[in-house]
C-alpha cells in the first residue's frame, strides 16, 4: 500500500509484543518483514543486516526445537527403559511365585535358600505335606483341593510369621510346602511348627471339605544336622523326618530320625 512509515510502526509494535510474550516463531517473521521494509525504502545495508538477524533467529529457533525433541526422545527412552525394567521385575516375581497360592515357588527357594544356609548356622527348615490329599481330590474335586491348598498356604504363612517373622513359606509342588526359619533353634522350630500343625487340624474346614478332615505332617531339620551344609542335605533330612511322620500315623511333627543305611535322595519316596 506504500505506507512505509505505518509498516515500520506496526512491525516495531509487533517486535515489542513478541519480546514481551516470548513468541520466537512470530519474531522470525517480524525480522523478515523488517528486512523487506528496509529494501523497499532502498536501505539495502539495513535490509541485509536485518536479514542476518532473521536468519540467526530462525536457526536459534530450529536449534531449540531440535534440543526439545532430543530431550523428549531422551525422556521417552528413559521412561521406556524404566518401564521395561519394571516389567522384567514383574515377570521375574511372577516366575518366582506360585500362581495358585501366591507363595514363593521352588525357583525362589533355589535362588534364596543356599545363601541363607551358607550364612545362618541356626537355620531350620520344615517340609509340610497335606495328609491324604489325593482322597480330597478324588472324593470332592480338584477345585476343592485347590481351595484346601490356598487355605493351608495362608495358615502356614500366618503361623510362621508369629514366631519366625524373617522366614518364608514356599510351595514346593503339589501338596508339599517348605517352611524356612532363620536363626531358629531346632527345639523352637519344632514347637512353632507343631502350633501350625494344630492350627491346620483345628481349622473349620466344614465349608470346604464337609466331613473330610484336613491335616498336615511336618518333617523338621536344622541345617547343621548334615555336613557339609547344603540345600540338598537340609531338604533330604527334613524329607526323611516327614516320611517318618507319615509312617507314624500322620498329623504330627517329626525331627531327629536316624539316617538310613542307604540315604534316600530328596523326594525319593512314594506319595503319602
Catalytic residues: 175
If you write DSSP's letter for every residue of 179-203 in order, what string do you get?
EEETT--HHHHHHHHHHHHHHHHHS
42 CB-contact burial (10 Å; exposed 0-12 / middle 13-18 / buried 19+): exposed
Q: What is the spatial distance between Cα 126 and Cα 104, in angstroms, rounded to a whole number? A: 15
Please name the residue that has the C-alpha cell 522350630: 189
If you write DSSP's letter for every residue of 131-194 in order, what string do you get?
TTHHHHHHHT-HHHHHHHHHHHHHHHHHHHHHH-TT-EEEEEETTEEEEEETT--HHHHHHHHH
C-alpha cell at 233: 542335605
Q: Which residues pair with 129 in a beta bridge?
A: 176, 217
C-alpha cell at 30: 517480524
Q: What is the spatial distance between Cα 170 and Cα 229, in angstroms, rounded to a whole number? A: 20
Reported for 56-62, long-range contacts at CB under 8 A and 24+ positions apart, including other chains, are 57/24, 57/27, 57/28, 57/31, 58/28, 60/24, 61/24, 61/25, 61/28
Strand order through the sheet with 124-130: 168-173, 176-181, 124-130, 216-222, 253-254
Amino acid at each position: 500500500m506504500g505506507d512505509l512509515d505505518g509498516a515500520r510502526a506496526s512491525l516495531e509494535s509487533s517486535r515489542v509484543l513478541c519480546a514481551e510474550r516470548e513468541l520466537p516463531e512470530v519474531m522470525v517473521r517480524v525480522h523478515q518483514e523488517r528486512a523487506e521494509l528496509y529494501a523497499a525504502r532502498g536501505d539495502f545495508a539495513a535490509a541485509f543486516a536485518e536479514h542476518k538477524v532473521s536468519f540467526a533467529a530462525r536457526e536459534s529457533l530450529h536449534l531449540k526445537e531440535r534440543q526439545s525433541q532430543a530431550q523428549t526422545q531422551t525422556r521417552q527412552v528413559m521412561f521406556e527403559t524404566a518401564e521395561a525394567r519394571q516389567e522384567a521385575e514383574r515377570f521375574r516375581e511372577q516366575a518366582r511365585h506360585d500362581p495358585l497360592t501366591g507363595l514363593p515357588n521352588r525357583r525362589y527357594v533355589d535362588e534364596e535358600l543356599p545363601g541363607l544356609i551358607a550364612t545362618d548356622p541356626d537355620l531350620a527348615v520344615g517340609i509340610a505335606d497335606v495328609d491324604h490329599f489325593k482322597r480330597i481330590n478324588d472324593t470332592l474335586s480338584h477345585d476343592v483341593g485347590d481351595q484346601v491348598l490356598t487355605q493351608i498356604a495362608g495358615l502356614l504363612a500366618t503361623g510362621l510369621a508369629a514366631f519366625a517373622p524373617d522366614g518364608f513359606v514356599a510351595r514346593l509342588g503339589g501338596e508339599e510346602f517348605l517352611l524356612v526359619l532363620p536363626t531358629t533353634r531346632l527345639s523352637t522350630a519344632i514347637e512353632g511348627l507343631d502350633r501350625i500343625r494344630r492350627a491346620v487340624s483345628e481349622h473349620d474346614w466344614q465349608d470346604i471339605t464337609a466331613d473330610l478332615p484336613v491335616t498336615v505332617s511336618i518333617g523338621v531339620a536344622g541345617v547343621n544336622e548334615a555336613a557339609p551344609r547344603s540345600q540338598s542335605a537340609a531338604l533330604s533330612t527334613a524329607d526323611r523326618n516327614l516320611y517318618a511322620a507319615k509312617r507314624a500315623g500322620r498329623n504330627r511333627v517329626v525331627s531327629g530320625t536316624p539316617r538310613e543305611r542307604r540315604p534316600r535322595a530328596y523326594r525319593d519316596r512314594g506319595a503319602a
